[in-house]
Structure 1
C-alpha cells in the first residue's frame, strides 16, 4: 500500500511539474529586453488554428490539475481565466496585444500553488457558478431587450 501511495505522489509531482513547464512555454518562455512572453501570443497571430491550439492546451492543463486533486472551486477559477483569455485573445489586434500581458496559464499555476500550499480556493464552485449564471442570464435578457427595441425601430422605419 505504501509503495502505491508513493507512486501516486510521484505521478502527481511529475504531472504538476509538466503543467508548470507547459504554462511557462505558453506564457513566459522567451525574454526580449525585460519583457517575458510565450507561445500563446505568438500562436494567436495564426487565425483560428493558433487560438484553438492555445485554448485546448490551456484546458488540458486545467484538466490535469483537476485530475490531481484541485478543488472544483479552483478548477472553475482556472477555467474562467482560460475562457477569458480565449475570448479576449480572439479579438483581432486587441487580442494579440492582450495575450502578451494576460498570462492565464501562469495565473492558473498560481491558483494551483495557493490551493496546495496555502489552502486557498477550497470547496465547491457552486457560488461562483451561481453568480456566473445570474450574470449571463441578466446579459441575455438585456440583449433580448435590445434586439426587441431594434426590431421595433426597423418595423417603424419600414411602416413609414
Structure 2
C-alpha cells in the first residue's frame, strides 16, 4: 500500500483540499470558469487580510512537510506563497492578482503529485521545517511593515515633511 492511499494522508489531503477550495475557488463567477475564494476577499482587509491568508497558506505547506514532501517540492510551494503574498500586498493590483494566482491550488497539485511519486526522496527534516516556519514568519512581518512604510512615505510626500 502506498503512502498516497494511507488513511492519514487521505484525511489530511481531504482537509487541505477543502482549505484550498475555500481560499481559491469558493464562488464561481456566473457564466465563467473563474473562481474567487476567500484569499482575494480577505486581501481587501488592509494588512490583516493578507496575514490571515498567509497563515492559512502556511498551514498547507506545514502539512505537506508533515506528510513527507520533498524539500524541492516544499521550495516550489513556498515560492508560490511568496509570490502571492508580495504581489497580493500591492493595493488594488494585488486584489486582482489574488483572483488569478491561486497559489493554494497550485500547492495542492504539487503536494498530490509528490505523494504519488514512487521515487520521492529528500524528505524535509525538522530543521528544514523550522526554517520554513521562520521564513513564513519573516514574510508575514514584511507584509505588516511594507504597507506601513509605503503609507508613511506617501503621507510625508503629500504633507511635505
Question: Fold match, TM over 0.5?
Answer: yes
Distance 1:121 1:81 in 2: 21
Within 5 Å, which residues of 2 pair with 1:4-23?
A: 9-23=6-20
Residues 31 and 118 of structure 1: CA distance in aligned 2, closer, same or farther (over 3 Å)? same
Bigger relative contact order, structure 1 or 2, given CA contacts below 8 A and separation 6+? 2
Distance 1:25 1:58 in 2: 11
What TM-score do the two structures reach when normalised by structure 1? 0.68
Matched residue, 2:52: 53
Bigger CA radius of gyration: 1
TM-superposition CA deviations, 1:36-72 (whole Å, max 9, x none): 1100000000001100000111011100111011111
Residues 110 and 119 of structure 1: CA distance in aligned 2, closer, same or farther (over 3 Å)? farther
Deviation, structure 1 residue 120: 8.2
In the alignment, structure 2 segments of 5+ residues that lack a partner are 125-161
Distance 2:50 2:74 in 1: 21
Q: Is the 8 A contact 1:73 1:122 kept in 2?
A: no
Q: Is the 8 A contact 1:62 1:75 kept in 2?
A: yes
Matched residue, 2:65: 66
RMSD of aligned Cα (Å): 2.3
Extract structure 1 runs of 4+ deviating beyond 3 A.
118-125
Larger helix share, 1 or 2: 1
Q: Is the 8 A contact 1:44 1:89 kept in 2?
A: yes
Matched residue count = 119
Residues 104 and 121 of structure 1: CA distance in aligned 2, closer, same or farther (over 3 Å)? farther
In the alignment, structure 1 segments of 5+ residues that lack a partner are 1-5, 126-160
